A = this chain, B = another copy of it.
């Protein structure tokens, strides 16, 4: 997103991306559990979101691996926000079902989670997520999200 050759169209796309990011970052302020575990969203685009976290001792289970609950949290976070990016600001989205398959133990420096929307429906969003530990895919997840009508 360099600014050299921005035509009006590019500016509009740039502003839309910025608006989306502002809108999502406002919600993140109240994502207390995300702050507790030390994660943050690093990519916010329509239908695709990424998050990262620096692994520390506090994230481990008794064998020194990243806790399965931590990995599930990262997957839920990016799958859910990927879905949120496709909805108006006043429409909520909650996880109905989350499944995580653990392919490898999480041992390393950094977790990176990538979430995307497989199908956005009027009432259900089907999302998927990958969780990587350094250069290794350690988990694959799928989530069924329920669209909540606006509060009024």
Instruction: List A residues at the B interface (Cβ < 8 Å).
Output: 27-37, 57-65, 67-70, 72-74, 76-77, 80, 92, 94-105, 118-119, 123-124, 126, 128, 137, 140, 142, 144, 146
Contact (Cβ within 8 A) A144 B142: no
Copies in the complex: 4
- Residues of chain B within 8 A of A72, CB atoms compared: 69, 72-73, 76, 98, 100
Contact (Cβ within 8 A) B67 A73: yes
**What are 28 pairs between A and B in contact, CB < 8 Å?**
A28-B62, A31-B60, A32-B61, A33-B58, A33-B59, A34-B67, A36-B37, A63-B94, A67-B76, A68-B73, A68-B95, A68-B98, A73-B73, A95-B100, A96-B96, A96-B101, A97-B100, A97-B102, A97-B144, A98-B99, A101-B118, A101-B144, A103-B126, A104-B119, A119-B137, A123-B146, A124-B146, A144-B144
Whole-angstrom distance from the CB of A46 to the nearest CB of chain B? 19
Closest to A57 in B: B32
- Residues of chain B within 8 A of A126, CB atoms compared: 101, 103, 140
